[in-house]
Amino acid sequence: MSLRTRELGFLVPALLLGMLGLAAGASARADELQAGPWQTALGVAMVFVVMHAVLRMRAPLSDPYLVPIMAALTGIGLAMLYRIDPGLAGDQAIWVTLGGIVFCAVIVFMPDHRVLERYRYIIGLTAVMLLVFTMAFGTEVNGSRLWIEIGGGQRVQLGELAKVLMVIFLAGYLREKREVLAIPTQRRLGMNLPAPRHLAPILVFWGAALAAVVVLNDFGTALLFFGVFLAMLYLATGRALYVGLGITLFAAGSLFIWAAVPRIGARVDSWLHPFTDPQGGGYQMVQSLYALADGGVVGPGFGRALLVTEGGTPRIPALETDFIFSAVSNDLGYVGAIGVMLLYVLLMARGFAIATAARDGFSKLLAGGLTAVVGLQAFIIIGGVVRLVPLTGVTLPFMSYGGSSVVVNFGIAALLLVISNRSRQGLVEAVRGVPAT
């Protein structure tokens, strides 16, 4: 069986899962058996089928599991959005279509991702500019300044794109510097460290991440950027010391900011003690915890939990974005929520497998970095929901409502598949004795 046929074999049940979820949500809403918004469901299914077809033609040797996992997450996300507000699911379907277009464009127009390595500094600079632009001109939504207003009342999160660009830059930069970073040249404070000029980037990133906490007022975004940086630094050098050092620096800096900036102190307090002010600062968290408790072990099923009031407003603010995981846990219970988390672990397994199979340092770093960004982002926002980390403004990849997030994550998946296709192609050609192009 070819890789693509295997992909199709997994894609069909994954798509059916989403469709059934939508139908179940619609049936719960109407209290009678309904097919649900089948046009939306079919449209999204078509997007995935087209993606599959494009892969069949242009990247036939790419990993066959990534697209079905994406489809399952997207489908469950759509079903959740539909049960919160049918209008949201309609919008999201458009974003998924847009994401599909970006996905296909990457596959078709970038058969070899290694061109990116050449432009690493331009890409890195663009990422920095996007972030600075957001810091300077961003609009604050729900207390975090992550959005840029564009025409027609639409907002984009440039940080989502900057995130990917940063991973590409780091993959190129660290490939170049990995030797000097990996070899210690001096001993300070009982630690073997490389030359100070090679350490500088760590400190720059540390400073930038903390600045982001203060300016963007978002701990999650800063944690994500810094975490991905550390992950890639570790991939490149294999030295856990950097990770330890980085985490220590970040924790120390965060503690300092928590003590020094009252606005952020208040946020952290409502994270640590949501029940002291359940109607004020702790409201969102407390309502979310009630939703988790209500979900219990198995949950009442798609659309059956009391997540939305009779008037149609969600009980938890930002339910469709930051708190979509609470909705999953409430409707589908602990079992369903574990299922969704396993999908993310599977996604990471495939991503890191692609990184392992890649045949050059840049590809390995790029695939590993992109996988880490998705995995870490899911970890941070779910961690926020279960109160492991302070509440954050990052989205749950493939599931949260929002165009920027969906499009960027589809792009990430496309990049991973290009890398995967490339490395297997190289392998096939090497076996056949044909030189890799």
Partner 1 sequence: MNRSIRALYLTLAAGFAVLVLMLGYWQVIAAGELDERADNPYTLEKQRLVDRGRIISADKVILAESVVYREKGQKYYRRYYPQGALAAQVVGYATAREGSTGLEQQYNRYLAGSYGTGAILDRLRDETKDGADIRLTLDTRVQKTAEALISGRKGAVVAIEPKTGKVLAVASSPGFDLNQVASDFASIRKESGAPLLNRATGGLYPPGSTFKVVTATAALGSGTWSPSSTFDDKGVYVVDGKPIYNSGKAKYGLHNLTDALTFSINTTFAQIGDRLGGRTMGREMTRFGFARPVEIDLPAGEVAVSGRYRDGKLLPNEQRDSDSARIAIGQENLQVTPLQMAMVAGAIANSGRMMRPYLVRRVITRDGVVVKQQRPQEVGSVSSAYIASEVGRMMGSVVSEGTGTEAGLAGLSVAGKTGTAETGDPERNQAWFIGYAPADDPKVAVAVVIEDTSGTGGTEAAPVAGEVMRTALSVGPVQGEPSA
List interacting residues with partner 1 (CB under 8 A).
Answer: 31-32, 231, 234-238, 278-279, 286-287, 289-300, 306, 315, 329, 333-334, 337-338, 341, 344-345, 348-349, 352, 355-356, 361, 364-365, 368, 372, 375-376, 379, 382-383, 386-388
Helices H / strands E in the chain, number of each: 15, 5
Give the torsion through C-alpha atoms of 313, 317, 320, 322, to 10 deg.
-170
Our CA angle for 204, 405, 362, nearest 5°, is 50
Helix, strand, coil in percent for the chain, rounding step 5: 70, 5, 25
Q: Of 54 and 378, which has the nearer Cβ to partner 1?
A: 378
CB of residue 329 vs partner 1: minimum separation in angstroms? 6
Write down the least CB distance from residue 144 to partner 1, Å. Answer: 22
Minimum Å distance from CB 123 to partner 1? 21
Cα–Cα distance between 297 and 295 in angstroms, integer? 7
Nearer to partner 1, 152 or 310 (CB): 310
To the nearest whole angstrom, how small is the minimum distance from the Cβ of residue 59 to partner 1?
A: 21
Return the number of the residue (287 or 405) whose C-beta is nearest partner 1: 287
- Is the Cβ of residue 10 or residue 352 nearer to partner 1 in the bound state? 352
Our CB check for partner 1 shows the closer of 279 and 437 to be 279
| Strands 191-193 and 155-156, sheet pairing | unpaired
Residue labelled with tokens 């009391």: 306
CB 21 within 8 Å of CB 75: yes
* Least gap, CB of 238 to partner 1 (angstroms): 5
Beta carbons within 8 Å of 83's beta carbon, 6+ residues apart? 25, 28, 29, 302, 303, 307, 308, 327, 331
- Toward partner 1, which CB reaches closer, 47 or 308? 308
Only one residue has tokens 């407390």, namely 286
Min CB(178)–partner 1 separation in Å: 8
